[in-house]
Amino acid sequence: MSLKLLYGFHAVGARLRAAPASVRELFVDPARHDVRMQQFLTRATMAGVVAQQAESVRLDALAGTHRHQGVVARVEALPRLGTLDAVLDACDASDAVPLLLGLDGVTDPHNLGAILRTADAAGVHAVFAPKDRAVGLTSTVAKVASGAADSVQYVMVTNMARTLAAVRERGVWVVGAAGEAQQSLYEATFRDPTALVLGAEGSGMRRLVREGCDALVHIPMHGSVESLNVSVAAGVCLYEAVRQRGFAGSGGG
């Protein structure tokens, strides 16, 4: 069974809450005696996970960064639905109105982590991205996502344009965010099954991905900057969908 690394209080703590049996090894810095570490160790004990002490230099090597907060874990990869068809089937079975988020060209792990965190909060059923133009679920993504890398279905697809065509055949309305779009985000409807698609900062969505959208919308910009960070744009768009859906939640994750 494949193992991956998680680090940081949020990411490891979320795994301890959600699937403690998947935590194979837990390492903590013995130099930390603060309240936060004590609370974390108590949570680990209650979850039945034994923490091993490891000096900071070893934690740095394990995590590949010094920003681990003194907590590193080796964990089993959690099972995922794997395909958007499976995600949509699950929505059908639970009478949920699908809300999907497509990312075309997001390669920065901090942006992806922030997007996953917002997607979890907004009830997104799945985030999907191309295999060849995406950062993937790295340990940095997991730390920034604060547990959402486990709770949100993340689906890597071979071809974004074909994927959009496939979800449209399943009755999902595809809305792309583009600065030059005539329609405002706030003029669009997100109450029906929807896939929101965002492109990379600067280049935006690729042509075939843009052409695969049913509609394009822009976020109104009243200042001097021309665009928002993609993680901020995702939050703005997703929470307009949440607002329109009446804050009832869509059972995502």
Question: What is the spatial distance between Cα 23 and Cα 6, in angstroms, rounded to a whole number?
Answer: 10
For the chain, give every residue range classified as CATH 3.30.1330.30: 3-76
User: Which ranges of the chain have pLDDT less than 50?
Assistant: 248-253
The residues facing 217 across adjacent strands are: 177, 183
CATH topology of domain 84-244: Alpha/beta knot (3.40.1280)
Report the distance separating Cα 70 and Cα 133, nearest Å: 32
- What are the structure tokens assigned to 222, written together? 């009243």
Three state DSSP letters for the chain: CCEEEEECHHHHHHHHHHCHHHEEEEEECCCCCCHHHHHHHHHHHHCCCCEEECCHHHHHHHHCCCCCCCEEEEEECCCCCCCHHHHHHHHHHHCCCCEEEEEECCCCHHHHHHHHHHHHHHCCCEEEEECCCCCCCCHHHHHHHCCHHHHCCEEEECCHHHHHHHHHHCCCEEEEECCCCCEEHHHCCCCCCEEEEEEECCCECCHHHHHCCCEEEECCCCCCCCCCCHHHHHHHHHHHHHHHCCCCCCCCC
Q: Where in the chain is the domain with CATH 3.40.1280.10?
A: 84-244
Cα of 133 vs its chain's centroid, Å? 16
Those residues whose C-beta lies under 8 Å from the C-beta of residue 60, and which sit 6 or more positions away, are 66, 68
Task: Indicate the CATH number for domain 3-76.
Answer: 3.30.1330.30
pTM of the model: 0.76
Rg from Cα positions in the chain: 19
Residues present in the chain in total:
253
The per-residue pLDDT for 247 is 60
Sheet (strand 99-104) strand order: 154-157, 126-130, 99-104, 194-199, 173-177, 215-218, 183-184
What pLDDT does 253 receive? 42
What does the pLDDT read at residue 249?
43
